[in-house]
Amino acid sequence: MIKKPAILALLTTTTLLLGSCSANSGNGAERVDADKAASATSIGVRSSSESMLPTGFSMNALQDAFEEYVNYRLWFYPAKVVGNDSGFDALIGRTIDVEVRIYTDDEGVRRVYGHTSNSERLAIFAMKEGIVYCAGQAGKEEPQWPQGDYETIDTFSIEVGQPHKPNYGTSARKEKMIAAAEAYDKAFCQDMIRGEGAEEWQGSKVYLADFYEYEEAAISWIVRRDGYAWLAPVHLAEKNGEFETTGLKGFGIEKIYGLDPNDSGRYMFESLINGAAKQFTCGSEDS
C-alpha cells in the first residue's frame, strides 16, 4: 500500500510527465542563420507581424494554448482541494495580459515564451505534431528560464473563466493512440484475471484517461471491486504510422473511494476518470 502523503506527489509527477515536454527538448525551437541574426535588434520591441514567429506559430495559436493551460491548472489543481495551487484561482473573472517574447540563445535557437501580467514567471510555448501548446511556466530561479536576449513580438489577453474539462482534441492519429493504449490495458487485464489472485481482478473497472495528441504516453486507472486502484501508465511510440506500447512504472492506492472527495489524491483520480477516453470491465466480452 502506498503511503497517503505520497499519493499527490506521485500523481502530480505522473501527470506532469505525461502532460508536457521539456522546454529544452527543442520542440517549438527554430534556428536562425547568421544573416537573420545580424539584421535583428538584440533586445527590443518588434512589430506585431506574425512573420517574426517561428514556423508553425501564430498569435491565435499562442492565445488558445495559454487559455488551455490556465484551464488545465484550474481543473486539476483547484484551491478548494487542500494542498493544491493552480496559480490562477484568484484570477477567475479577471484578465491576464501576455507579452509574447522570442529568446535567442548563443547558438541562434529561437524559442517562444510569454511574460504574464499576473506574475514574473514566463509561460513556455512549444509545438509538436503541428500543435502549439503551453508546456508550463518558469521563474527566474528555475533552470527552464531562458538565457540570451529576447525580442517582444506582440501581446494578447485572456479572461480567466470557470474551469471545465480540458479540450483534449480529436484526430485520426489520436484515435490510433487511444486504440493502442486500450489494447495494452486489455492485455493487462487478461494477465491479471488469469494469474495469481485472479478473483480480485475479475470485474475491475478500467478507465483510460483522455490526453493531448502531442503527449507520448497515456495513463489508465484499473479499479478493483474492493476499491484498490492501480495506475497504469504506458509509453506510446510511433513507428510507420502505428503506435507501439511499453508499460511504465505504476502504483496502487488502497480503498480509493474511502478517501475524502477533497483529498488531493482522490480529487486527481476522479478528475482523470471522469470523461475517460475509454472504459471497460475486466473479464467482460469487450475486454
Q: In terms of pLDDT, which residue wins out, 81 or 44?
A: 81
Judge whether residue 18 has pLDDT over 90. no
Between strands 149-159 and 44-45, the pairing is parallel
- Per the prediction, the chain carries an average pLDDT of 85
Judge whether residue 22 has pLDDT over 60. no
Q: What is the pLDDT of residue 32?
A: 43
Judge whether residue 90 has pLDDT over 70. yes
Q: What is the pLDDT of residue 29?
A: 53
Half-sphere exposure of 175 (CA within 13 A, CB side): 3
Give mean pLDDT, residues 233-261. Answer: 95
What is the model's pTM? 0.81
Percent of the chain with pLDDT over 70: 82
User: What are 96-148's pLDDT values in tens digits?
Assistant: 999 999 999 888 889 999 999 999 999 999 999 999 999 999 999 999 999 88
